[in-house]
Amino acid sequence: MCTGGCAKCLGSTLIPLAVLCTLANILLFFPGGKVVEDRTYITDEVWCFGGILGSGVLMIFPALVFLGLQNNDCCGCCGNRSCGKRFAMFSSIIFAAIGVLGAGYCFILSAVALNKGPKCKTGENWSYPFKAGDYLADHTLWERCTSPDNIVPWHLTLFSLLLVMSGIQAVLCGIQAVNGLFGTICGDCKCCGCCGGDGTV
């Protein structure tokens, strides 16, 4: 597949993933699907906006750049065939790195949140009743959380989705970094023969 076409495919995949990560992060502000009385009752990692900023906003920029690569001018500059395309592919490597950082941020936050467990009401106080992810293998421990209802599966499901989707985003951006490197060195196959040696069509 041509490097430009590959980048467009990756970009079109990143957009829905970014939207889903943003929605998952927003849902985490409603533990168990309910509005809480105090913002301190929400798990700390939710306030780090891993899905909204890391895998959401920061991922939109690389995605848009990848989508636009196939439409860049192949004939380039100064009569040098494929110059413009090569520069565009090089710039995509930088945006791919930004995407990896954003996805990595969300991935790490999600892993920490899953290991830590949700913040919930245990008796009269709100706290983190689980330690070192012990609740992941022992579902009987979920009973420690008395409120909100279904807070543990809510927390587990949404942060697991963020973990998986951010991991996919990081892999896709990594693929584009390699694809961009090939495009920078070799040019794009769709540029071959599109211009004459003097830069004319």
Neighbours of 109 (CB within 10 A): 25
Query: What is the per-residue pLDDT across 114-159, written as a single tens digit (0 to 9) for each?
Result: 999 999 999 889 999 999 999 999 999 999 999 999 999 999 999 9
Residue 28 pLDDT class (50, 70, 90 cuts): very high
Answer for the pair 119, 43: CB distance below 8 angstroms, yes or no: yes
User: What mean pLDDT is predicted for residues 40-61?
Assistant: 96
In a domain, 55, yes or no: yes
Find tokens 């293998």 and name the residue. Answer: 137
The answer on pLDDT for 189 being more than 60 is no
In a domain, 18, yes or no: yes
In a domain, 198, yes or no: no
The answer on pLDDT for 97 being more than 90 is yes
Q: What percent of the chain has pLDDT over 90?
A: 68
In a domain, 191, yes or no: no
Q: State the residue range of the domain holding 139.
A: 3-32+43-71+88-186
Contacts with 173 (C-beta within 8 Å, 6 or more apart), sequence order:
10, 14, 62, 96, 97, 99, 100, 103
In a domain, 76, yes or no: no
Contacts with 12 (C-beta within 8 Å, 6 or more apart), sequence order:
63, 67
> What does the pLDDT read at residue 41?
94
Residue 172 pLDDT class (50, 70, 90 cuts): very high
pTM for the full model?
0.84
In a domain, 193, yes or no: no
Query: How many structural domains compose the chain?
Result: 1
Phi then psi for residue 29, to 5 deg, are -75, -5
**3-state helix vs strand vs coil in the chain, percent to 5:** 70, 5, 25
Q: Which two tokens stand for residue 9?
A: 């495919």
In a domain, 107, yes or no: yes
Q: Where are the beta strands (DSSP E) in the chain?
A: 120-122, 125-127
In a domain, 192, yes or no: no
User: What mean pLDDT is predicted for residues 56-85?
Assistant: 71
Distance CA 67, CA 172 (A): 13
